[in-house]
Structure 1
Amino acid sequence: MLAFQYIDDDASLTELVSKYRQSPLLILDTEFVRTRTYYARLGLIQAYDGQTLALIDPISVGNLSEFWSLLSEPEITTVLHSCSEDLEVFARNGKCQPFRLFDSQIAASLCGFGHGLGYAKLVEQTLNITLDKGESRTDWMKRPLSDAQLNYAANDVYYLYELYPQLIQKLEDRNRLDWVFEEGERMTQGRLTPPDPEQAYLKVKNAFQLSSRQLAYLKVLAKWRLNKALKRDLAVGFVVKDHALIGLAKKQPKSLSELNKMIELTDQEKRVHGKDLLALLGSADLDNPPKPIDVLALKNGYKSSFKAIKNCLTALSEQHDIAIELLGSKRYIHEYLQWLWDGKRGELPLLLSGWRAEILASPLAELNIS
């Protein structure tokens, strides 16, 4: 059983933060619950600076602002593993992002341990310790938490502190330490920007199938759904499903009778939202519809261009011992192709930015894709 402090009042948190503010390193993890909600519900924060391991109860502590301020300290390196969802939690609950972020999953990938390595596997590979993951399905909003649950949570930062020096050494040996911090900076960008209801239709699955006129209907429907989801803190799919919005945009029912005949909508969606949905369809701005969604994969030359780039990146990933998923995923290739076919206007794609540019810029230019 690891020794830790359980922080469940403001005075204890103030004292803890004062200690942590003197440390150059802070290992963090969060436990949260996300089932039907739009935002993850924060249940526990684990923190360790090598001296004091703390489990912070955000349900009991009234004000976490002092703790969140630690993340903005330029002299403190924040270490997390596979931190994308943690960053969401920080943005939602603390309105902040780590100033200097080290993601140990990305670090492990750049050290040659493998891409997307889970925390337990990384601990096993670096420290030869097998962690018990038996509490991974815990409801972290319930109180009290058992000793087994608290120990499980403490493990997530204790061993990360232990393996951190090994990752640092391997990264320095490969001259890749700066790459990890560059990735950390990229991962935090835009996290504090709230979702834009006007653009919500672009995230509806299969929206690309719709005509410009149909997209005008989808736009008002998706905007309404997102606003309702945000107001109720409910996942958008629990308001109205994507395929239902697509069906409404295509069929545009004019009455409850027509709407009730639609198989795309559940009986509950019809009963609860029927009148609202009809009103929304009637409010669509058909005089200024969105442009049809440009699908990159349907353009002439896409297959051959994508294959040429993918083959180039695959060879370079093997040459430099960098996982292809990290060096140049499908999304990154699409971003690069879109930039090329837009006449190289706008912000440089990720494949031509930072450390990736050192490896990829010249080989990609030699492909001469137009």
Structure 2
Amino acid sequence: MPLIQYLTSADAIATAAAHFATLPRIGIDLEFDDMRHRYGRHLALIQIFDGKEAYLIDPLPLPDMAAGLEPLFAVLRDPAVAKVFHSCKSDILLLDEVFGVNCLNIVDTSVQFTLLAAEDNNISLGRLIQAELGFEVDKGEQKSNWLKRPLTEAQKEYAANDVLYLFELTDRLTARLAELGRSDWAAQENLALEAVRYGRDDPRPWSRNAAKYKISAQEMPIFRELYMLRDTIARQLDRPPYHVVSNDRLAELTRQPIETPLQLRTANGLHPELKRSPYAEQLLAIGTTDLEPDTPLAPEQRKFPFRRRLNGPAATRAEARETLLNTLKALLITDHGSTLANMVLSNRLIAEIIEQGAESALRPWQQQLLRESAERHNEDYGQIAEPF
């Protein structure tokens, strides 16, 4: 195990960041808590590998986390330094959401592996290390509480392992992609990661909760109010929402609302705060009030599929585009196998191409594969190239 430097002060972080800024690349990973031990998403640790040493940067002791980490954030924004991640989307979303940091010059080993088309799913870092380097790393601390201090030695070793092998992995995967003539594919996919942003101001956050599938459309107003009440209490307590009421219990309360103080006193599965004023009164009001349905979303906020907005001749045209795309997907499977076919024409991409056209919805490498298969089998790529 290489030397691990554990940094807890702004001065030490600034010194390390000045070193990182001189390097062609760094390996990086983040540990954070996402509604597991506290409310919201909280950065807990940043791991950096410079090719020789692992740096564990602890942001929790910093009096001003954003200010103390700014020298490191400057490196993340610097396009001259490559940042090697594995499966980086959660990390870069957190950096954008919490700190407004847009990470540039990303190399993602998960993206690289996916483009080899060896498997049809994202591979974990542990499995990739085992497959490429031939040994296992301990992943036992994956679900530990990263906000708790002091960190254990096992946590520190686990965190360091998340970055120690990234250079070796990306070098191997880069060479394999070059052999297949897919280096430019990886460059296009990695460049697209720079545009990933955290989606703010969700108008209906309750609609993303899995418990909604256990209730009827008529019960949605009750579910909405219960969800928002739970969120208010969770935010106040700085606890994950499931500590207030579990998702399953939320669905049960929607189907059988609490309507009397006696029902509330004897109800199970509720945080004590829900049985105290003012939240007890709010909970009873939800169960005894005729609630208004959700107001219609503004047109720009509606996310239902493009096809559902069409009728008549327009719907017929869209159906013809979908039929052609499904034909092209079958031809891609014949030419390149199902893994690559799904990367070029997944169900999501087919829906986007119907509306936006392949030239807009697909990366250049995807367009090339699709165009070549169409030409090889005498299909008209031009029919789906342009926007609807």
Normalised by the shorter chain, which TM-score bucket?
0.7 to 0.9
1:61-210 pair list within 5 angstroms? 61-62=62-63, 63-114=68-119, 115-187=121-193, 189=195, 191-196=197-202, 198-205=203-210, 207=212, 210=216
Superimposed CA distance per residue, residues 71-125 of structure 1 (whole angstroms, 9 cap, x where no aligned partner): 1112222111122332343234433231222211111111244332222232233
**Against the structure 1 CA distance between its residues 42 and 298, is the aligned structure 2 distance closer, same or farther, given a 3 Å change threshold?**
same
- Confirm or deny: 8 A CA contact 1:29 1:46 kept in the other structure: yes
Contact 1:28–1:47, Cα closer than 8 Å, also in 2: yes
What residue in structure 2 maps to residue 32 of structure 1?
32
Contact 1:43 1:141 in 2 (8 A): yes
Moved more, 321-330 or 170-179: 321-330
Partner deviation per Cα, 1:242-281 (whole Å, 9 max, x = no partner): 4555566667x69436975999x84558635442234457
Residues 29 and 157, structure 1, Cα contact 8 Å, conserved in 2: yes
Residue 351 of structure 1 deviates from its aligned partner by 5.5
- Residues 254 and 326 from structure 1, CA distance in 2 versus in 1: closer, same or farther, beyond 3 angstroms? same
Query: How far apart are the structure 2 equivalents of 1:151 and 1:157?
Result: 11
CA contact (8 A) 2:103 2:194 kept: yes
Letter in 1 for 2:20: Y
Q: SS of the residue aligned with 1:37?
A: coil
Distance 1:217 1:296 in 2: 29
Preserved contact between residue 92 and residue 196 of structure 2 (Cα < 8 Å):
no
For normalisation by structure 1, the TM-score amounts to 0.74
Residues 1-370 of structure 1: pairs in structure 2 closer than 5 A:
1-34=1-34, 35-62=36-63, 63-114=68-119, 115-187=121-193, 189=195, 191-196=197-202, 198-205=203-210, 207=212, 210-211=216-217, 214-230=219-235, 232-242=237-247, 255-256=259-260, 266=269, 268=271, 271=275, 273-279=279-285, 282=289, 284-286=291-293, 288=295, 312-313=328-329, 316=332, 319-320=335-336, 322-323=339-340, 326-333=343-350, 335-336=351-352, 340=354, 344=355, 352-360=362-370
- Displacement of 1:18: 0.5
Structure 2 counterpart of 1:46, one-letter code: Q
The amino acid across from 1:124 in the alignment is Q
Work out whether residues 26 and 49 of structure 1, in 8 Å CA contact, stay in contact via their aligned partners in 2. Answer: yes
C-alpha distance in structure 1 between counterparts of 2:303 and 2:254, whole Å: 15
The amino acid that maps onto 2:10 is: D
Offset at 1:6?
1.8
Q: Deviations over 1:336-368 (max 9, x none)?
A: 4xx74xxx3x69798645533333468597798
When normalised by structure 2's length, the TM-score is 0.71
Report the residue type matching 1:356 in the other structure.
Q
- Residues 258, 44 of structure 1: alpha-carbon distance in 2 compared, 3 angstrom cutoff: same
- Give the 3 Å change call, closer, same or farther, for CA 38–320 of structure 1 in structure 2: farther
Identity of aligned residues (%): 23
Cα distance in structure 2, aligned partners of 1:65 and 1:84: 20
SS of 2:29's equivalent in the other structure is strand
Please give the root-mean-square deviation of Cα atoms over the aligned residues, in Å.
Answer: 4.6
Q: Which moved more, 1:241-250 or 1:54-63?
A: 241-250
Aligned length: 359
Deviation at 1:166, TM superposition (A): 1.9
Give CA deviations for 1:108-149 in whole Å, capped at 9, x if unaligned: 111244332222232233333433445445443344434444
Q: CA deviation at 1:54?
A: 1.2
1:152/1:307 CA distance change after superposition, 3 Å: farther
> Which shows bigger deviation, 2-11 or 129-138?
129-138
How far did residue 15 of structure 1 move? 0.8
Does the 8 Å CA contact 2:48/2:163 hold for their aligned counterparts? yes
Moved more, 162-171 or 281-290: 281-290
> Hey, what's the Cα distance between the residues in 2 that align with 1:37 and 1:142?
11
| Distance (whole Å) between structure 1 residues aligned to residue 123 and residue 230 of structure 2 | 35
Decide which moves more: 174-183 or 239-248.
239-248
Amino acid aligned to 1:199: R
The Cα of 1:150 is off from its aligned counterpart by 2.5
CA shift in 2, pair 1:224/1:318, >3 Å? farther
Q: For the Cα contact (< 8 Å) 2:344–2:370, is it kept in 1?
A: no
Q: Distance in 2 between matches of 1:232 and 1:3?
A: 39
- Note the C-alpha offset of 1:12: 1.1
Flag the 1:352–1:15 CA change in 2: closer, same or farther, 3 A. Answer: closer
Question: How far, CA to CA, are the matches of 2:236 and 2:200 in structure 1?
Answer: 13
The answer (yes or no) to whether the contact 2:258–2:264 under 8 Å persists in 1 is no
The farther-off stretch of 184-193 and 6-15 is 184-193
CA displacement 1:162-189 (0-9 Å, x = unmatched): 2222222223333433433443454554
Structure 1 counterpart SS, 2:210: coil
Q: Can you give the 5+ residue segments of structure 1 that lack an aligned partner in the other structure?
A: none
C-alpha separation in 2, matches of 1:143 and 1:268? 26
